[in-house]
């Protein structure tokens, strides 16, 4: 641990030398590397957390740049997980970083098994409830965070306390940042609150399971107490999100006209050769990009399209059944 790098933290009584050693030994998984995840990841990397696991299924787009601070214009089209990894390695070479450009589900959840705490920085309810049920079943600590417009929520969740299902319905009608907009200062401060709570938990400070609401435009901060619900399935040992079958099509990334289609593993070299005959192709580790399609080696494709039918047609045309 380079003492000079963390000099300003070492003199803090809340951290100190012993606390810094605890951070260096910690492992944190960050699921979602958008507006919340990039800020959270950078803050934890700069604070000296020993290992970060970065998970995101998406690619960088121009509309991400105002608030997703790990990316620059040259990253457009790249996997978010890989681009974030590249940037964080330049920020702090002394920590471990594992980047996974995957869709989180039962098959890929082992990437979370060693994490001391999991950060929910996603933008969709299905992944949030998967995290909730996974963490309940595996007795994992995690921190829920969400932001839209000028406000957001953060809540630390513990194995023996209330869970996400105790205060949020799985089919809740929630606004997205694409449809309602979002302010970059709002996502930054919500991510900062989330990262602060993670540091406190890793340092064994007392952190109550409260739901925090902050509207940065109105300068309004509320703290809400959430009670365990008697009829909550996850709190009673039933995990609906872990029992769901994977859907072939996952609609909308934060309200955008972008689709994810799952398929079998692909030979990227073979497909690259086909694609190069009809246009430019960008090849990065375990992924190919061309125009409005990103194809991963596991057969998963991200496709910009006006409808699900158009997305399936493009998949069949460029990838195959």
Residue 236, domain CATH: 3.40.50.720
Which pLDDT score, from 0 to 100, does residue 2 have? 66
Residue 174: pLDDT above 80?
no
- 153's CB contacts (< 8 A; 6+ apart) are 144, 145, 146, 147, 190, 211, 212, 213
Instruction: Tell me whether residue 249 is in a domain.
Output: no
Tokens of 19: 């606390």
Q: Are residues 265 and 199 in the same domain?
A: no
What is the band of 11 on the pLDDT scale with cuts at 50, 70, 90?
very high
Q: Are residues 183 and 312 in the same domain?
A: no
Q: Are residues 216 and 302 in the same domain?
A: no
Enclosing domain of residue 271: 257-318
Which tens digits make up the pLDDT trace of 241-278?
998 765 545 545 555 678 888 777 888 888 888 888 88
Q: Are residues 212 and 151 in the same domain?
A: yes
Instruction: Tell me whether residue 41 is in a domain.
Output: yes
Instruction: Tell me whether residue 200 is in a domain.
Output: yes
User: How many domains would you assign to the chain?
Assistant: 2
Taking the C-alpha atoms of residue 142 and residue 201, their distance in angstroms, rounded to an integer, is: 10
CB atoms within 10 A of CB 110: 8
Q: Are residues 199 and 280 in the same domain?
A: no
Which tens digits make up the pLDDT trace of 225-237?
999 999 999 999 9
Q: Are residues 118 and 235 in the same domain?
A: yes
Could you tell me the end-to-end alpha-carbon distance of the chain, in angstroms, rounded to an integer?
Answer: 51
Long-range contacts of 288-296 (CB under 8 A, 24+ apart): 289/59, 289/77, 289/78, 290/318, 293/318, 293/319, 294/59, 294/77, 294/79, 295/266, 295/268, 295/271, 295/319, 296/101, 296/102, 296/266
Which pLDDT score, from 0 to 100, does residue 320 have? 72
Percent of the chain with pLDDT over 70: 92
Q: Are residues 40 and 144 in the same domain?
A: yes
Q: Are residues 214 and 279 in the same domain?
A: no
From 243, 265, 293, give the residue that closes a domain.
Answer: 243
Mean of the per-residue pLDDT values for the chain? 90
Residue 316: pLDDT above 90?
no
Asked if residue 234 lies in contact with residue 169, where contact means CB atoms within 8 angstroms, the answer is no
Instruction: Tell me whether residue 205 is in a domain.
Output: yes
């Amino acid at each position: 641990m380079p003492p000079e790098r963390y000099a300003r933290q070492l003199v803090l009584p809340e951290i100190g030398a012993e606390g810094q050693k605890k951070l260096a030994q910690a492992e944190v998984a960050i699921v979602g590397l958008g507006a919340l995840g990039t800020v959270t990841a950078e803050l934890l990397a700069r604070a000296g957390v020993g290992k970060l696991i970065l998970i995101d299924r998406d690619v960088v787009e121009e509309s991400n740049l105002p608030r997703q601070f790990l990316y620059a214009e040259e990253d457009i089209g790249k996997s978010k997980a890989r681009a974030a990894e590249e940037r964080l390695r330049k920020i702090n070479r002394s920590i471990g970083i594992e980047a996974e450009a995957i869709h989180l589900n039962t098959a890929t959840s082992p990437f979370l098994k060693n994490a001391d705490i999991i950060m929910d920085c996603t933008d969709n309810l299905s992944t949030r409830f998967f995290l909730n049920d996974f963490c309940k079943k595996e007795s994992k600590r995690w921190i829920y965070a969400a932001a839209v417009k000028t406000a957001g929520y953060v809540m630390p969740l513990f194995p023996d306390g209330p869970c996400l299902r105790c205060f949020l319905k799985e089919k809740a009608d929630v606004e997205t940042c694409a449809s309602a907009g979002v302010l970059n200062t709002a996502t930054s401060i919500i991510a900062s609150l989330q990262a602060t709570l993670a540091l406190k938990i890793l340092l064994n400070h007392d952190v109550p399971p409260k739901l925090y609401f902050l509207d940065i435009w109105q300068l309004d901060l509320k703290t809400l107490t959430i009670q365990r619900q008697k009829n909550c399935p996850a709190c009673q040992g039933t995990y609906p999100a872990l029992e769901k079958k994977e859907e072939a099509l996952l609609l909308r990334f934060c309200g955008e006209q972008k689709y994810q289609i799952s398929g079998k593993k692909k030979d990227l070299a073979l497909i690259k050769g086909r694609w190069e005959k009809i246009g430019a192709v960008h090849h990065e580790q375990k992924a190919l990009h061309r125009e409005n399609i990103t194809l991963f080696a596991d057969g998963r494709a991200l496709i910009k399209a006006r409808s699900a039918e158009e997305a399936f047609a493009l998949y069949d045309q460029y990838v195959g059944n």
